[in-house]
Amino acid sequence: MNNIIKSIETNIESSKKDLESIHSKRETVYPLTRQIIHLCSAAIKNAHRKEFNESLKLVSEAKILIDKINNESIENTPIMSSGYVLDAQKEFTEANVALAFLTNKEIPTAIELSVQISPYLNGIAEAASELRRTILDALRSDNLDSCETWMECMDETYSMLAGIDYPEAVTGGLRRTVDQLRGVLERTRGDLTMSLRQKALENKLENLHL
């Protein structure tokens, strides 16, 4: 019996040390994830304002923090699979993909961003949703050709992501994110259709007065 008690004590003490290591890593990593989210939110706002150099600077700063988290915790599964790390990676992906969209460049890969697949795919979906703002800005500028181009980008992104059929535990809630993208897509399509009809009507009225 003494041997059993001793083994219990030994294993519990060992487990406590493991928990202490996880806790210590969390205390280091969690503030970094908040900084990443803040930087990426600002980067997206700058991208929408066409301040692309500033946006690139911010995502570059965020990449340093992403790499720092990976270097310190890549083998620590509880940390790397935690919600706060996955959220930071998703926001980082969203900022980079949105910037790529708005500068007409190919989107970066998950490997290039050093992020996991589930936050990567969710980030792409959220970046596509950001195009609604781009389209509405173009509508206000009467740039209808640009609107149709971005609508096609949103539509194609939605179609490709909607075709991913794996359990939510694997995709990190991708189905919900894609459903949200569909809602944004439908509202934006409705706004664009209404604007196109209004523009066509204005053209007809203008021709009548010629």
198 pLDDT higher than 90: no
Are 69 and 37 in contact by the 8 Å Cβ rule? The answer is no
pLDDT digits (tens, 9 = 90+) for 81-100: 999 999 999 999 999 999 99
Segment 120-125 mean pLDDT? 98
pLDDT digits (tens, 9 = 90+) for 18-71: 888 888 888 889 999 999 999 999 999 999 999 999 999 999 999 999 999 999
Banded model confidence at residue 209, pLDDT cuts 50, 70, 90: low
Q: How many CB atoms lie within 10 A of CB 191?
A: 15
Percent of the chain with pLDDT over 90: 67
pLDDT for position 8: 86
Query: Which DSSP state fits 27?
Result: H
CATH code: domain 116-210 is 1.20.58.2140
Give the dihedral sign, CA 125/73/45/103.
negative
Burial label, 44 (beta-carbon count in 10 A; 0-12, 13-18, 19+): buried
pLDDT for position 204: 67
Segment 110-139 mean pLDDT? 96
127 pLDDT higher than 80: yes
Every domain of the chain with CATH number 1.20.58.2140 lies at: 116-210
What pTM was estimated for this model as a whole?
A: 0.89
